[in-house]
Chain A
Amino acid sequence: MTDVFRTLFRRPGLELRDDMTSADVDGWDSLKHVSLMIHLEQELGVRFRSEEVIRLTNVGELRGLIHEKLADRPAGQPAGQA
């Protein structure tokens, strides 16, 4: 997850904190947010639903959602692109 943030915002030293919001990261606009979701889906092998994404208010909640998705994933399903 950190790798995706660092690559997309081009900040190699970026450290994520749970209370971080889009206001804390330069360039985190709606377009970047969509890219973020698409990249995370592909890298982690999960699919987010629109309503789940709209609910998110900070990095901690995003992390929580990802953990939930990974836990729900059937065993043995590979991460990333099929």
Chain B
Amino acid sequence: MSSSSHKPAAAALGTGLPLALGDDSRALAGALDELLGCGATSAAQTLLRLALLQPGRTMLWYQKLLNRWDDLGRPPLKPNPVTRRIAVLSDHTIDNLAPLVTALSAGLGVHVDVQVTAFDSVEAHALDPTSALHRQPADFVLIALGETWLHRQLGPGGLVASERIEQAADMLDRLVGPIVEHAEVLITNFAPGAVAVPGGYAHGEDRIGYAASLGRLNAHLHAMQSPRVTVIDRAHAVHAAGGQRAYSAANEQRAGIPYDAACLVTLAREVAFSVAALCGKTHRALVLDLDNTLWGGTVGDAGPHGIVSGPDDADGRGYHRLQLYCRNLTSLGVALAVASKNSPEVRSIFERNPNLALGSDDFSSMQIGWDPKSSSIANISSDLGFGPEFMLFVDDNLFELAEALGRHPHLDVIRAGPAAADTLAALAAGRYFHTVRITDTDLSRHRHLAARRAAAELRTSFDDYDDYLAAIRIRVDVQPYGEPNRRRVAQMLQKSNQFNLTTRRHTEHDLDMLRKQGAVIGVFSYEDVFGSQGVIAAVVLVPNGGQLRIDSWVMSCRVLNRTVEQAIAAWMMQRAGTRPLRGEFIATVKNGIVADLYARLGFRRVLADSSGDHEWWECDPTADTPPTHLVELRTDSWDQHDGQEHNRRDRDRRLPDAVPPARARAA
């Protein structure tokens, strides 16, 4: 493999992606330095954006990324960014919110300039027509009222007179009134405070408890909403940051900041995603992988009823909840799509398996096949009529995420797992589909998209894909069959259904016997920049009347279409030496994906039985060129063992002839 032709961007994405999705800010900084040093600016910006959008990191994480974005000259991290000025009016110190909102908004394609006024001056600024607020109008005015304002309006706690609550509500109207004349208003709702205030939900004729009065004010805020007034869910931000633990008495005492760092981060997220939603910059489609993302297990092996999903068992429940969450998104106008590497007929599972909370009607585009996921996402984009920058792609496999990002750098991604609950938590904490307004367009989008589903397929850009494969440095190590891998090899032969050429279910004992009789058993493990996948393929080669016959060949579908099968074929041709290499294909209901494998590898069909379900293919290693691949094939451990194996083969060449009976030759 030559390294000069590799796309640095793809390689960079491969190594940098786990860091952008991780939490080690120093390692990420190093990766970004390296990328920028070698001119891979676009990849660096992609990672910067993905890192900015990660929920639940420390303030320092976002501050570092903001500094980096600044150092780069504030480049757009999403196509067609917009610029907005936000003025903040608050009864508490909220300056630390500004850099966080700026950082998060940048990741969403909104470049904001945040101006914070002196604290506890809300009324003065809002009601004084000569204040700076009115002289220098902003696009948005964020009004953040907390406990100081509440205590002034409602008193310190206990029971609150209804009259007083009405006056407070009135004050909210009077604050907002003059501002909506020249700016859109964002106003935070009221949350339970740092200390439980007496009063609770007590109910009297003309007065109610303190907690109940907060509820009334929140209801008033909700009623105030209009095309120019939006409520920011501060109560959710406090809850997400740990509820009562999100408050910091020390910050409050020394600086008038009621929150701790985690709560500033969640509050900034509410603000940034609301502004982005108002600017039309939030996500509109959720693209889901299936196996081990939307359900547990692999449908190709387990069958439509063997997957882990459903409300009735502990493991399935997590996936069930995730599916319900996704289905609920469609009610907000979010389009759901599938990008899965599976046989196309897998789509029928949504009708066949009653334990799935989603039906095929819930999806606006379904891409199930063996093409690269970047092609699936291009197809989804064409089906939905908007670009990948409006999509969130969820997959458990870093390879797939990086491959998709290589072609669609503005796509946002979440790595699914390890448990379904983790996927759901990441999806929900991200606030990606934050909705502030419901329009008829949103509600009809899903139906509209379902109608457009039959769209012309885009052609796959395999040049890009080859570059990607080369860049992620795939290494396949060939080992002899033996103690370290015999259980895994037998397990693959027992369980693999899809990439399984003959579906001969050899056990460990069978394999031991075959090897004693001179069979060559190659075991392949896979590694790329994302890490090792362990043993992913095995072949059983049987010397047979002057030929080398491929008795069995199994491979994990996770590594399909990465030219691993070509590399394995090239290795087998080498093993065959001067002998013809004979491949067998026995069709089953599940192994359709390898029906044309030997044809694709350049073998010629020499025989078939009368049913056509059993075929024999052949290639001549002395004349045929081995298939090209982008894999570094390591044979060190094989070569060590090969000397002994060779001697054994010379000693014992007597094996039963597996050439079929003469009647088959007629076909």
Mark A42-57 against chain B: 1 for CB-CB distance below 8 A, else 0. 1100011110011000
Is B63 a contact partner of A34 (Cβ separation < 8 A)?
A: no
**Chain A residues in 8 Å Cβ range of B57:** 81
Among B56, B242, B261, contact of A38 (Cβ-Cβ < 8 Å): B261
A48 contacts B250, C-beta separation under 8 Å:
yes
Report whether A35 and B96 are in contact in the complex, using a CB–CB cutoff of 8 Å: yes
Chain A, interface residues (CB within 8 Å), range? 20 to 34
Name the contact of A7 in the complex, choosing from B60, B96, B251 (C-beta under 8 A).
B60
Expressed in whole angstroms, the minimum distance between the Cβ of B25 and any Cβ of chain A is 8
A69 beta carbon closer than 8 Å to chain B: no
CB atoms of B261 and A42 under 8 A apart: yes
The answer, among B60, B64, B95, B245, for a CB contact under 8 Å with A42, is: B60
Q: Name A39's contact: one of B63, B93, B250, B253 (CB within 8 Å).
A: B63
Does B260 sit at the interface, judged by CB under 8 A? yes
> Is A41 at the interface (CB under 8 A from chain B)?
yes
Which A25-80 residues have a C-beta within 8 angstroms of B? 31, 34-35, 37-39, 41-43, 47-50, 53-54, 80
B60 and A43 within 8 A (CB):
yes
Cβ of B443 within 8 Å of any chain A Cβ, yes or no, is: no
Which residues on B sit within 8 Å (CB–CB) of A39? 58-60, 63, 261
Chain A nearest CB from B132 CB (Å) reads 18
Shortest CB distance A74–B (Å): 16
Which residues of B have CB within 8 Å of A35? 96
What are the residues of chain B within 8 A of A23 when measuring CB–CB? none
Per the bound structure, the CA–CA distance linking A53 and B254 in Å amounts to 9
Other-chain contact of A34, B59, B245, B257 (Cβ < 8 Å):
B257
Q: Is there a chain A Cβ closer than 8 Å to B262's Cβ?
A: yes
- Beta-carbon contact of B261 and A47 below 8 Å: no
Find the residue from A4, A50, A81 having the highest chain B CB count within 10 A.
Answer: A81
Chain B residue with the shortest CB-CB distance to A10: B67
Contact assessment for A3 and B26 in the assembled complex, using a CB-CB cutoff below 8 Å: yes
Interface check B1, CB cutoff 8 A: no
Interface centre among B242, B245, B250, B262 (most CB of A within 10 A): B250
With A7-B63, A7-B67, A31-B95: A42-B260 Cβ-Cβ less than 8 Å? yes
Which residues from chain B contact A3 at a C-beta distance below 8 Å? 26, 60
| Complex: chain A residue closest to B245, CB-CB | A82
Q: Which residues does chain A contribute within 8 Å of B245, judged by CB atoms? A: 82
B451 at the interface (CB under 8 A from A): no
Q: Which residues of B contact A42 (CB under 8 A)?
A: 58-60, 260-262
Residues of B within 8 A of A8 (CB): 63
Which residues of chain B (250-289) have a CB below 8 Å from chain A?
Answer: 250-251, 253-255, 257, 260-262, 264
Task: Report how far A39 CA is from B66 CA in the complex, Å.
Answer: 15
| A68–chain B nearest beta-carbon distance, Å | 16
**B58 x A43 contact (CB < 8 A):** yes
Q: 0/1 per residue, B101-131, Cβ < 8 Å to A?
A: 0000000000000000000000000000000
Beyond A8-B63, A34-B93, 11 additional contacts (C-beta under 8 Å) are A3-B60, A4-B60, A34-B254, A34-B255, A37-B254, A38-B96, A42-B58, A47-B248, A49-B250, A50-B250, A50-B254
Which residues of A are at the interface with B, using a C-beta cutoff of 8 A? 3-4, 7-8, 10, 31, 34-35, 37-39, 41-43, 47-50, 53-54, 80-82
CB-defined A-B contacts under 8 Å, sample of 26: A3-B26, A3-B60, A7-B60, A7-B64, A7-B67, A31-B95, A34-B96, A34-B251, A34-B254, A35-B96, A37-B254, A38-B251, A38-B260, A38-B261, A39-B261, A41-B261, A42-B59, A42-B261, A43-B58, A49-B250, A54-B254, A81-B56, A81-B57, A81-B262, A82-B245, A82-B262
